[in-house]
A and B are shown apart, each in its own frame.
Chain A
């Protein structure tokens, strides 16, 4: 989809702030401590994602609905290892905790989430956080797992060592969360039994002393680390095996596509039939005037041509969600590192590039895990070449209309699938070639480090997956309901004014004819030209545009969209169109996010120009070659 993360205003606490009472709670913790799971658990669906002003760090704020405290605001800070400003994430965390982040309420309490499986290291973050002096509750997450694997900790002893309350929880199971409620209800009165002991914190800013302190605290509290996860080791023995590893990797990538097309396609078709049947039922109720034409030919056709892709898009996001939550994506990054290095990127770019198959916008946001700025920019610039789900509508439309479904390898793999696959490969090659070009020219850098933490394997929870899908689905529907609806309406009006005129002589007809000479060599007619213009906003808009334009044309009105296209375009022009879409940068949301992530208009402008030229040249070549051969 083209827009995934429209910033929304965040509900900030209102009303008088009573001194000594807790209004805003900050969730602090190292990466992979289960912080996000806890955040989802505590806030439920009432959360908002935006960006902190001026930086590229994501701000997640929600109300504590999950534990029945919607009066309190919970801020999820980025996962950090320390509070010194070694990274943008850490700088944001420090600013929020000090109350110096504009637009973010000042936290008056902290929930510090530590992974109890690795407490010795995780405690290193406790030192600088406790030194802030805010009321803090330390949450030992995954304590059920720790105990099941023979680990132990004296929580009371730890509370005395740290001078703050400590609770064992399990964010995935939702166990022990009442301790959070108790902590928040106690207001900010310190617990006398804990503060009685004078606590000693290490020298601030000295990592070695943090570590010594953390080691000391863990041994004094009789922390026994659980035996290391043999399951993860055993799974890695296969998934990172010299031979099996790459094979599984390829099988996973293949399975994603197979499922999206083999299962997603019939789902989308069925969904489409339902929508069309509903449209046919509604049409007679509206009479036979201009209103019926506007509502059905304009709006309903336009919206439904995009809406049918919802099942497939959700399926793709489900897959990426499962891979990410299970911990496999990190292994995939490890396997991909060698190949990515050959083109000057690192294995971490694999994760954003794979997500870019769903949508470039979250993919570009996911590049934040790449520490090196040049590597990161290169990844951002090539991500839109990956075949995102917004390209699927036009690909599927053109392939269904122009490519016969001849079997190549039995029923399993036909000519249509082959064309679709080659479009994916085309985008992938363009991404690799562009990355190599960038890394050997304007983004040249000495080899950047690759530091990748491998989380333990976990079963993805239904909760977090459904949350993801609801989120994506909402964004898609909002897009369909706003941008696409508006474009469709404007198009319908432009193609019907002046009234009772032929489509050719409507306003849109005139615009189309003006640009026609430019796109004629690509095998496109003026209707496609209009589609190219409207789809600069979002790629999927072209399908609704064509739906509206052909619906408004009396000669093709009675035909289905596919038949109408066959009537109007050659095979060369049709294939040139999909090649054009494989390369062109038709997505204002992506341009906007690139601008935000690179903090400059220079990069999105360069990206747009480069991709447009490439798309034009490639489409021209495609049309000329196919026309020459088919004739």
Chain B
């Protein structure tokens, strides 16, 4: 059992290595763990909210770091351009990011 679990763990690791984008992996902002940094790929939110977020720096190619979660686990604080902005999971789900996988 342990051997199978370990091997599947390593397989998952190697999968990432052969990802088409190399060391970058596409995911949703809401899925990034605390402390990781991603690069904004695209936003898919209603017009006015999207506009507001883009003005706050959530534009494609911006680097964004997950800082911490609120005591209740949601919203999450993100750091973008040195600013800290809190978003709920629902909103973060609509932001696609490229995640850098540290080896």
Q: Chain A interface (Cβ within 8 Å of chain B)?
A: 81-82, 84, 86-87, 117-118, 120-121, 124, 207-208, 211, 225, 228, 233, 236-237, 240-243, 245-246, 334-335, 337-339, 341, 347, 371, 447, 449-454
Contacts and interface: CB of A to CB of B under 8 A. Distances in A.
Dominant secondary structure of chain B at its interface with chain A: mixed
B70 A453 contact: no
B25 to A, nearest CB: 23
A240 B83 contact: no
A82 B45 CA distance: 19
Nearest to A341: B88
Interface string B53-65: 1111101111000
Interface string B31-56: 00000000000000100110111111
Nearest to A212: B61
A86 B48 contact: yes
Contacts of B72: 335, 337-339
B86 A450 contact: yes
Interface residues of B, number: 35
B22 interface: no
Interface stretch (B2-10, B12-20, B74-82): B74-82
A211 B62 contact: yes
Given A120-B81, A334-B77, 17 more contacts: A86-B48, A86-B52, A124-B55, A241-B71, A246-B71, A334-B70, A337-B70, A347-B75, A447-B90, A449-B88, A449-B91, A450-B75, A450-B86, A451-B49, A452-B86, A453-B56, A454-B85
Contacts of B11: none
Given A86-B51, A338-B70, A451 B87 contact: yes
A338 B53 CA distance: 21
A211 B80 CA distance: 13
Contacts of A454: 77, 84-86
Contacts of B75: 334, 337, 347, 450, 452
Given A121-B81, A334-B75, A371 B70 contact: no
Contact of B82 (A81, A117, A124): A117
Nearest to A454: B84
Contacts of A334: 70, 75, 77, 86
B43 to A, nearest CB: 11
Contacts of B49: 371, 449, 451
3 pairs of A and B residues whose beta carbons are closest in the complex: A81-B55, A338-B72, A121-B81
A87 B82 CA distance: 24
A87 B87 CA distance: 19
A335 B90 contact: no
B74 A236 contact: no
Contacts of B83: 118, 121, 453
A289 to B, nearest CB: 66
A335 B82 contact: no
A92 to B, nearest CB: 16
